[in-house]
Amino acid sequence: METIKLARARTLAGLAAMLLGSAAWSGTALAQGVSNPTTGVATANTNAANATADTNAVTANAAGRGQNNNSGGASSRAPTDPGVRGGDPGAGGALPGLNDVERQYFDVAKEVFQEVDAAADGLGPRFNLDSCSGCHSQPSIGGTSPATNPQVAVATLMGAKNVVPSFITANGPIREARFVRNRDGSPDGGVHSLFVITGRSDATGCNIAQPNFAAELARNNVVFRIPTPVFGLGLVENVSDGTLEASLAANAQQKRALGISGRFNRNGNDGTIARFGWKAQNKSLLLFSGEAYNVEMGITNELFQNERDSDPACQFKATPNDSTPLVSENTASPSASFQNDIDLFAAFMRFSAPPTPASAAAAPVAQATGASNVTAGQTTGTATGASTTSSSASTASGATSTASSTASTVVASATADVSSVMATAAGSSTAQPSSSASSGASVTRGNQVFSNVGCQACHTKTFTTEKSPLTGQSNVTLQPLSDFALHEMGVGLADGVSQGTANGNEFRTAPLWGVGQRIFFLHDGRTKDLHEAIQQHASRGSEANAVINNYNLLSRDDKQALINYLRSL
Amino acid sequence: MRVWLYLGIAVCLAGIGAVLHGTVPSSQDSKIVQSANPEDGKVIKGVFVSDYFNLSYRLSDELTEGLAGPPPSQSGYYVLGTWTPKRDFAGTVLVVAQDMFFAPGASDDVKNVVAEFRQVMSAVDGMTIDREPAPVSVGGHPGYRIDFSGVGLFRAMFAIEIRCHVVAFNLTSRDPESLASLARSLDSLDSARKEEMSDPVPECLKDYASGNIVSRVEPEGVGAKAVSIPARMIVATDGSVKHVHVIRASAAQRRNIEEAVRQWKFKPYVKQGQPVEVETGVMFNLKPTSM
């Protein structure tokens, strides 16, 4: 038996030596630190009715929270986020393999998802935006917050007199605001819509006021969420609870060596795993749709039938505003003609293909050493890194599938051609071409780094769907890069909002598929920089602290490779 | 200027032998109380002390306490402490514990836990197992060590078993030399208290609550959600419940479980003809109060 018990004197000698060594080293040691994040955010898709504030959680605004005193990432050593990957969005189309009837249904659903609603459609009286696709638009319909925030324009649309709250900016993320506590100190946690229809030309007679956001901000009582992308969620919906549970248990020993545990947010009615929304608070895509329609747009429906503000002077359509049509609406899909909006929203999500990663050789990368340069490469259309595709796998997003209905089809690992890259990297980065070989090597290395430091312990790579009623969607492998479990994320990310069994510090592991084309990161969109987003995972009480410590121990080249890999997704 | 580091090491090794006794807190500082819980460890005068696990771990002057970990999990998992170097960010120490009463998975002792860990890590792309799991003794506790590396990180896990918990020291560094130095820091692991000043450590028996409860009062449910709540308890030699530790629950759930369990009565546990205190665990599945 090996014994590690050594003489104490020897230990101290070693420690003293380390001290001396580090002093000698200090002349070349690079400074360590972490920059403050920008505060931000908003979102959709949350359960206002069920949300309650966690009185034990941090309630302050995001500003100044989440300091990680061990970031080890001095600015001179920090990797460069090359920014949003350009080229084909690789998302927004239908699942490969669907038959013609299913594709017609999807196409109609996608149109309805893009409809802009007015007061006569039931909009408001309180709302955050007037369409689904307004929030879910980056990099294509079904995505997340776009570069230009449409909430600024909608504030005064049709003569409305809304004041744009200070946390809404033209170039910032779309935001949903929640108050942590009520005025009497009791838990709130619900969504407080930003705007009212008062003053709009289609809402004559309505005279309600916006919440006093300035006062609530002054009380540090406002938290934010941004829209979550909805691509590929039908596949997620079709992963069994048993598969998710087995996945969480499969790498339990690795997680335990990293300070990670995790648990699921379970539905209170039937005990099954809820998996949608920032806190996995929504059980199904239909619930997700119905809630967002009422909470974000103020449109009541057959799941959420009652107006959140029932002032009779502000109602311009019978409730529920959205109901099942009993007469055909004559859409291109006979089935869709008899569906209410929330069913079609859910169908759009359920039938939509997951994001398509760039091939390793095509991914935008910043140089691993020296100046931060954004590079653009040409794609080869091959599979990414270790991801495997079956011979029957789909082509790029939105393309007609060649998969058979019985074969196992790998969807999420198919690759897209990327011909250009947006030069939106942080700092003074300049776009320039580089060899696809070096791009591919960096992305491949980044994939390895992702697994080695422990990111994949929670951002689980692969699941397989159950038997599906949709054509070609049974036994499909998906790579959402999430375990769909809740994890304690510390005071730095805590929003103080409890939903289902999720407390104010817990969040669902955010799926990272498509992250290469997202602009804003974390639940409140506080940063546009992936390195910063990674650092924000660490704070007092976070399960991610050890993984972030591992990240900070990496060489700059490997940090850069990880960022490049993420931008290839 | 790595050469300066090695020079420094040589100089220090040559001159330091005798510097070091008497800095661990006295046993009075950490006198055992049976109400101690796994998460109650704390740093006292540069020494991490856990009354529950009866451990003291002198921290290197090079290390500073890192960010606190999450609260205990629903499966009885604890992050006991994290330490990182004060200056150059060369390595970290993470100490965790898993309650084997509530651990998910089949591994039921430290040997199997480390074997399972080895299997998982060897499947990670680019990971190399540098040292196969091998028996070690840490602070007088038998356990296992495994070393592994990948993407420029050199890591080791020392896992030992105490009171039906697997306590693991996870070391991570940028180079093998630093890893060896971190490993040597475990030499300072010691008992937090002297045996003669301590209450006896209860016998830990996973399933003692099955079939040995004479009288049981059910806790009231709280809220509208069905939740599983792990709790440990120490059964006194007369069968009464001496201590209850509700591992993760809301304040109301905790209160209800504690109030109920304190009324429980067990069959006294007898070992070799002598009544012995027992530590066991129960997973409560509180039913919703409204649906």
Task: Give per-residue pLDDT as tens, B27-65.
Answer: 333 334 567 999 999 888 888 999 999 999 888 778 889
Structure-token match 């969620």, residue found: A233
* Burial class for A391, CB neighbours closer than 10 Å (0-12, 13-18, 19+): exposed
What is the C-alpha separation between B130 and B126, in angstroms, rounded? 12
* pLDDT recorded at residue B39: 95
Query: How many residues are there in chain A?
Result: 569
What is the C-alpha separation between B275 and A494, in angstroms, rounded? 48
As a whole number, mean pLDDT of residues A228-236 equals 98
Are A379 and A390 part of one and the same domain?
yes
* pLDDT recorded at residue B44: 86
Between the alpha carbon of residue A549 and those of residues A536, A542, B69, the distances in Å are 12, 12, 12
**A324 lies in a domain?**
yes
Are A84 and A201 part of one and the same domain?
no
Strand partners, B82: B94
Distance from CA of B266 to the nearest CA of A (A): 32
* pLDDT recorded at residue A424: 35
Question: Across all residues in chain B, what is the average pLDDT?
Answer: 84
Structure-token match 């806790």, residue found: B219
pLDDT tens-digit profile of A405-428? Answer: 333 333 443 344 333 333 333 333
* pLDDT recorded at residue B288: 63
Distance from CA of A504 to the nearest CA of B (A): 12
Q: Of B65 and B87, which is predicted with more confidence?
A: B65
Between the alpha carbon of residue A238 and those of residues A98, A145, A275, A285, B203, the distances in Å are 15, 26, 11, 11, 46
Cβ–Cβ under 8 Å, residues B91 and B111: no
Question: Is the pLDDT at A397 greater than 50, yes or no?
Answer: no
Between the alpha carbon of residue B291 and those of residues A53, A263, A270, the distances in Å are 21, 22, 10
Structure-token match 């032998």, residue found: B17
Domain, as residue range, for A144: 101-230+283-351
CB contact under 8 A, B70 and A449: no
Are A397 and A473 part of one and the same domain?
yes
* pLDDT recorded at residue A399: 34
Residues in Cβ contact with B119 at an 8 Å cutoff, skipping those fewer than 6 apart: none
Give domain limits for chain B. 25-197, 203-286
pLDDT over 90 percentage in chain B: 64
Question: Is the pLDDT at A111 greater than 90, yes or no?
Answer: yes
Question: Is the pLDDT at A404 greater than 70, yes or no?
Answer: no
CB contact under 8 A, A25 and B1: yes
Are A373 and A392 part of one and the same domain?
yes
> Of A385-399, B64-78, B137-151, which gets the smallest average pLDDT?
A385-399
**A364 lies in a domain?**
yes
Name the residue type at position A124. G
Task: Kindly indicate the confidence band of residue B139, based on its pLDDT and cuts at 50, 70 and 90.
Answer: confident
Task: Kindly indicate the confidence band of residue A367, based on its pLDDT and cuts at 50, 70 and 90.
Answer: low
Are A331 and A363 part of one and the same domain?
no
Structure-token match 């990161």, residue found: A521
| A304 backbone dihedrals φ, ψ, rounded to 5° | -125, 90
By CA distance, what is A71's nearest residue in B? Answer: B89
* pLDDT recorded at residue A437: 59
Q: Of B269 and A58, which is predicted with more confidence?
A: B269
CATH entry 3.30.2420.10 includes domain B203-286 = yes
Are A260 and A308 part of one and the same domain?
no
* pLDDT recorded at residue A160: 98
What is the C-alpha separation between A362 and A435, in angstroms, rounded? 9
Number of domains in chain A: 2
Between the alpha carbon of residue A499 and those of residues A112, A190, A284, the distances in Å are 29, 10, 15
CB contact under 8 A, A20 and B12: yes
* Cα torsion through A352, A353, A355, A360, rounded to 10: -170
Closest CB from A253, A261, A540 relative to B73: A261
Cβ pairs bridging A and B (under 8 Å): 256
Q: Of A438 and A422, which is predicted with more confidence?
A: A438
Are A345 and A213 part of one and the same domain?
yes
Q: Of A60 and A452, which is predicted with more confidence?
A: A452
Task: Kindly indicate the confidence band of residue B199, based on its pLDDT and cuts at 50, 70 and 90.
Answer: confident
Are A244 and A177 part of one and the same domain?
no
What is the C-alpha separation between A376 and A361, in angstroms, rounded? 10
**A367 lies in a domain?**
yes
* pLDDT recorded at residue A268: 84
C-beta atoms surrounding A325 within 10 Å: 14
Strand order in the sheet with A373-376: A365-366, A373-376, A430-433
**A467 lies in a domain?**
yes
What is the C-alpha separation between B148 and B133, in angstroms, rounded? 10
Provide the token pair at A453: 């430091």
Strand partners, B141: B138
Strand order in the sheet with B47-50: B42-44, B47-50, B55-58
Question: Is the pLDDT at B95 greater than 90, yes or no?
Answer: yes
Question: Is the pLDDT at B18 greater than 70, yes or no?
Answer: no
pLDDT tens-digit profile of B99-115? Answer: 999 998 767 799 999 99
* pLDDT recorded at residue A469: 97
Are A328 and A408 part of one and the same domain?
no
As a whole number, mean pLDDT of residues A381-395 equals 31
A386 contacts in chain B (CB < 8 Å): 125
Question: Across all residues in chain A, what is the average pLDDT?
Answer: 80
Task: Kindly indicate the confidence band of residue B129, based on its pLDDT and cuts at 50, 70 and 90.
Answer: very high
Closest CB from A13, A258, A487 relative to B16: A13
- Element (H or E) spanning A256, and its range? helix A252-256
pTM for the model: 0.82
CB contact under 8 A, B136 and A253: no
As a whole number, mean pLDDT of residues A59-84 equals 55
Q: Of A318 and A51, which is predicted with more confidence?
A: A318
Closest CB from A12, A250, A252 relative to B19: A12
Are A248 and A328 part of one and the same domain?
no
CB contact under 8 A, A253 and B181: no
CB contact under 8 A, B1 and A259: no
Distance from CA of A330 to the nearest CA of B (A): 41
Are A218 and A236 part of one and the same domain?
no
Cβ–Cβ under 8 Å, residues A544 and B70: no
As a whole number, mean pLDDT of residues A263-283 equals 94
Residues in Cβ contact with B219 at an 8 Å cutoff, skipping those fewer than 6 apart: B253, B256, B257, B259, B260, B261, B284, B286
Burial A44-58 (b: 16+ CB within 10 A, else e): bbbbbebbbbbeebb
* pLDDT recorded at residue A269: 85
Structure-token match 């997704």, residue found: A569
What is the C-alpha separation between B255 and B243, in angstroms, rounded? 13
CATH number for the region B25-197 comes to: 3.40.1000.10
User: A75-79, A362-366, A378-382 — which one is most confidently predicted on average?
Assistant: A75-79
Question: Is the pLDDT at B123 greater than 70, yes or no?
Answer: yes
By CA distance, what is A72's nearest residue in B? Answer: B89
**A462 lies in a domain?**
yes
Between the alpha carbon of residue A123 and those of residues A131, B6, B94, the distances in Å are 9, 71, 52
* pLDDT recorded at residue B13: 37
What is the C-alpha separation between A401 and A395, in angstroms, rounded? 7
> Of A120-129, A323-332, A437-446, B150-159, which gets the smallest average pLDDT?
A437-446
Query: How many residues are there in chain B?
Result: 291
What is the C-alpha separation between A260 and A242, in angstroms, rounded? 20
Question: Is the pLDDT at A76 greater than 80, yes or no?
Answer: no
By CA distance, what is A9's nearest residue in B? Answer: B17
- B interface test, pick of A11, A15, A264 with most B CB neighbours within 10 Å: A15
Cβ–Cβ under 8 Å, residues A481 and A457: no
The CA angle A87-A90-A96, to the nearest 5 degrees, is 150
Are A262 and A383 part of one and the same domain?
yes
B287 contacts in chain A (CB < 8 Å): none
* pLDDT recorded at residue A87: 78
Q: Of A254 and A364, which is predicted with more confidence?
A: A254
* pLDDT recorded at residue A93: 96
As a whole number, mean pLDDT of residues A376-396 equals 30
B13 contacts in chain A (CB < 8 Å): 13-14, 17
Residue A389 carries which DSSP code? -
Domain boundary among A313, A329, A351: A351
Residues in Cβ contact with A352 at an 8 Å cutoff, skipping those fewer than 6 apart: A91, A92, A93, A94, A95, A106, A142, A230, A231, A232, A233, A234
